[in-house]
Chains A and B, each alone.
Chain A
Amino acid sequence: MNLFIVDDDQTFVFLTKKTISSTKIESQISEFNDGQEAIDYLKSIAGNALLLPDIIFLDIFMPILDGWGFLEEYKLLLPKLAKKIDIYIVSSTIAPYDIERAKSHPMVSDLFIKPLVKDKIIELLNK
């Protein structure tokens, strides 16, 4: 399982990785500090199905390019991607409009409010 975590909160990334490793599911995790870093990398590997992730955990509130900005760019990149990727928004948001927007966004598979608990991760990674 190839997994990207796009989040500027270092502590959260550390804790999520720890949770994933505790599931004992074999996975390869790449971290990105903001949307721009992630989109730049995705562009560079767009044609390579081996390197492309199965799942992206995407934060909303990030510097440089936030989660929504990432999704805009991702939409343009989509036709070039060699693989289908599930994007999950993982956010600490409590704003109803964020939740509504994430749920109705065509590029987004689902939305999870932080923290990302172990059971949820197992369910996702076993899909």
Chain B
Amino acid sequence: MEKSQNINNKQGLNETLVQLKCIFENAIHAIIVINPDGVILYWNPKARVIFDWTEEETFGKKIHEIIIPEAGRNEHLSWMEQFNEGKVVNNTHEISALRKNNTDVNIALGISLSTINGERFYICYISDLTDRKLISSRLDKQKEFYENILNKIPTDIAVFDKEHRYLFVNPGAIKDEELRKYIIGKDDFEYAAYRKRDTSLAQVRREQFLEVKKSGREMRWEDSLKSPEGNTITHLRRLFPVLDEKGELSMVIGFGIDITERKLLEEKQALYVEQLSLQNVQLVDFCNIVSHNLRAPLVNMSMLVTFIEESTDEQERKFLISKFKPVIENLHTTFNELVESIQIKQDIEIQSENINLEMCLNRTLEPFEAEISRSGAVIERKFNEAPEILFPPKYLFSIFHNLISNSLKYKSPQRKPHIIIETKKANNNIILSVSDNGLGIDLVKHKDNFFKIGKVFHRNPNAKGFGLYMTKTHVDAMDGKIWAESTPDKGTTIFIEFKNQY
């Protein structure tokens, strides 16, 4: 009562408080007015809602005794002291306070200083944090839930603004937390510069982004990267635009899924398919050989036998018997050639050696000497880039023999043969080319048959269609590659790639 009268005496102050009361009565915050000693002068209805004390119950009491729990009182007092010295101004504190029933309530306490009629007053603004805490804890849980999904999903996710700056990346995309924080608000070029990386990938990504932005449509692609362990990792990537309600681009979301395993499986499958089709080609070849080279002579012989049996004329019988000879010879040659090619296919143990090409070629040319001088052939050699080849000597000798034999055999009647034999390095491999200025063939017509057994493209009595077949067999046996370029009446070049030379 004393204190009440004391205030009443101060007429001006009383009037001010009455005015303030009108304002504070309906405020949404709890408002408590205290003097520098912490004595409560005013307590609004909202304060009653939070703390359960009425204005009458609190009037004249010290604020720390009413709402500050025992444990926080000293801190509160020192804070008040600092406040009195003018050190802390208009600061909001989140503290735990006490209700009338001694339960805790989290509040935000803000204090502002007013001087009325030369006296200092503190107006405390208090809001109940319980509701806010509840909402924010719910938000936190929700955030945690979504972040869990975004962070743990085995996918890399990046969200960009309209200018291709990062709004979000998940740990799938950037593992390092610092880098993940750094990249927000930056673009790929800034990131590449920061990580001292080449900007070529950033350039590609920018073009893709602009394409998506322009077309408004999703883009998909696959890309492969080398992992630090040296494995190839393949991602299926998608970049798609997100439009706002006005239909304007608001952001672009990109994500990638690791499809390495699927990719490996696909590659394995492709390899099997290739092997199968190769086996099928070999089977077809075999069928052709059996049909044409073996069955045909047998048919001829059985027909001859029938005619001989039916014939009564001794002269005619002799003539028919003479017809056997070329058939048998032909069968014999075919048989030997087949044995030879099968031996190559079976001889997986054959040893490769480093062969000096100059020497090997000289040896090859010996049996052709007469033909070379007769035709005036010029044989040019360019072995300086790769003077040696690692290969079974028997095979390389046979390859040289067959290719040179072909170039001489199918020479143009208008030109002296000019044969260029050259080797070139190609990574770990060596590519040998033998090119001539001979008859050439129409590869559009014959490309499927070029290296097949028994396929002949020129009317030459010595053409049997076995040389290139054998050459291919030799090359295939050592896992190499063979192909040809040819133009009718210009010439032919045969290329052979010898694998794993270095």
Chain A residues within 8 Å of B, Cβ to Cβ: 9-12, 14-15, 18-19, 33-34, 61, 63-64, 66, 69, 91-95, 97-98, 114-115
| Chain A residues with CB under 8 A of B302 | 115
Q: A114 to B291: give the CA distance in the assembly, Å.
A: 10
Beyond A11-B327, A61-B292, A63-B465, whether A115 also contacts B299 by CB under 8 A is yes
Q: A98 to B302: give the CA distance in the assembly, Å.
A: 23
Chain B residues within 8 Å of A, Cβ to Cβ: 284, 287-288, 290-292, 295-297, 299-300, 302-304, 307, 323, 326-327, 445, 449, 454-459, 463, 465
| CB–CB B287/A95 < 8 A | yes
Task: Report how many A-B pairs have Cβ atoms within 8 Å.
Answer: 65
| CB–CB A92/B295 < 8 A | yes
Q: Shortest 5 CB-CB distances between A and B: which pairs?
A: A63-B456, A92-B296, A95-B287, A61-B292, A93-B291
Beyond A14-B323, A63-B455, whether A94 also contacts B290 by CB under 8 A is yes
| CB–CB B459/A12 < 8 A | no
Q: A33 to B327: give the CA distance in the assembly, Å.
A: 17
| CB–CB B300/A15 < 8 A | yes
| CB–CB A61/B300 < 8 A | no
| CB–CB B291/A61 < 8 A | yes
With A19-B303, A63-B465 already in contact, 15 other A-B pairs whose C-beta atoms are closer than 8 Å: A11-B326, A14-B323, A15-B300, A15-B303, A15-B304, A18-B307, A34-B459, A61-B288, A92-B296, A93-B288, A93-B291, A94-B287, A98-B291, A115-B299, A115-B303
What is the chain A residue whose CB lies nearest that of B287?
Answer: A95
Q: A66 to B288: give the CA distance in the assembly, Å.
A: 13
What is the chain B residue whose CB lies nearest that of A93?
Answer: B291
| CB–CB B296/A64 < 8 A | no
Beyond A9-B296, A63-B465, A69-B445, whether A15 also contacts B287 by CB under 8 A is no
| CB–CB A95/B465 < 8 A | no
Beyond A11-B300, A15-B303, A115-B299, whether A64 also contacts B287 by CB under 8 A is no
| Chain A residues with CB under 8 A of B445 | 69
Tell me the smallest distance from the CB of B63 to a CB of chain A, in Å.
102
Q: A15 to B299: give the CA distance in the assembly, Å.
A: 10
| CB–CB A94/B299 < 8 A | no
Q: A115 to B300: give the CA distance in the assembly, Å.
A: 8
| Chain A residues with CB under 8 A of B454 | 61
Beyond A61-B288, A69-B445, A95-B287, whether A12 also contacts B296 by CB under 8 A is yes
Can you list 11 residue pairs at the A/B interface with Cβ under 8 Å?
A11-B304, A12-B303, A61-B292, A63-B455, A63-B458, A63-B465, A64-B459, A92-B296, A95-B284, A95-B291, A114-B299
Q: A114 to B457: give the CA distance in the assembly, Å.
A: 24
Of A10, A19, A69, A92, which contacts B292 at CB under 8 A? A92
Tell me the smallest distance from the CB of B41 to a CB of chain A, in Å.
108
What is the chain A residue whose CB lies nearest that of B294?
Answer: A92
Beyond A63-B459, A92-B291, A94-B290, whether A15 also contacts B284 by CB under 8 A is no
| Chain B residues with CB under 8 A of A61 | 288, 291-292, 454
Tell me the smallest distance from the CB of A113 to a CB of chain B, in Å.
9
| CB–CB B307/A95 < 8 A | no
| CB–CB A114/B456 < 8 A | no
| Chain B residues with CB under 8 A of A69 | 445
What is the chain A residue whose CB lies nearest that of B456?
Answer: A63
| Chain B residues with CB under 8 A of A34 | 459
What is the chain B residue whose CB lies nearest that of A63?
Answer: B456
| Chain A residues with CB under 8 A of B295 | 92, 94, 114
| Chain A residues with CB under 8 A of B323 | 11, 14
| CB–CB A92/B299 < 8 A | yes
| CB–CB A64/B457 < 8 A | yes
Tell me the smallest distance from the CB of B296 to a CB of chain A, in Å.
4
| Chain B residues with CB under 8 A of A18 | 307
Q: A113 to B461: give the CA distance in the assembly, Å.
A: 27
Q: A61 to B336: give the CA distance in the assembly, Å.
A: 20
| Chain B residues with CB under 8 A of A63 | 455-459, 463, 465
Q: A15 to B327: give the CA distance in the assembly, Å.
A: 12
Of B292, B297, B303, B458, which contacts A64 at CB under 8 A? B458
What is the chain B residue whose CB lies nearest that of A34?
Answer: B459
What is the chain A residue whose CB lies nearest that of B327?
Answer: A11
| Chain A residues with CB under 8 A of B463 | 63
Q: A69 to B454: give the CA distance in the assembly, Å.
A: 16
| CB–CB B284/A64 < 8 A | no
Of A9, A19, A64, which contacts B300 at CB under 8 A? A9
| Chain B residues with CB under 8 A of A11 | 297, 300, 304, 323, 326-327
Tell me the smallest distance from the CB of B334 to a CB of chain A, in Å.
13
| Chain B residues with CB under 8 A of A98 | 291
Tell me the smallest distance from the CB of B313 to a CB of chain A, in Å.
13
| Chain B residues with CB under 8 A of A9 | 296, 300
Tell me the smallest distance from the CB of B332 to a CB of chain A, in Å.
15
Q: A93 to B463: give the CA distance in the assembly, Å.
A: 21
What is the chain A residue whose CB lies nearest that of B465?
Answer: A63
| Chain B residues with CB under 8 A of A92 | 291-292, 295-296, 299
Q: A93 to B286: give the CA distance in the assembly, Å.
A: 11
| Chain A residues with CB under 8 A of B455 | 63
Tell me the smallest distance from the CB of A66 to a CB of chain B, in Å.
8
Tell me the smallest distance from the CB of B283 to a CB of chain A, in Å.
9
Q: A94 to B465: give the CA distance in the assembly, Å.
A: 20
Q: A1 to B296: give the CA distance in the assembly, Å.
A: 27
Q: A18 to B313: give the CA distance in the assembly, Å.
A: 15
| CB–CB B303/A91 < 8 A | no
Tell me the smallest distance from the CB of B410 to a CB of chain A, in Å.
12
| Chain B residues with CB under 8 A of A93 | 287-288, 291-292
Beyond A9-B300, A11-B323, A11-B326, whether A64 also contacts B456 by CB under 8 A is yes
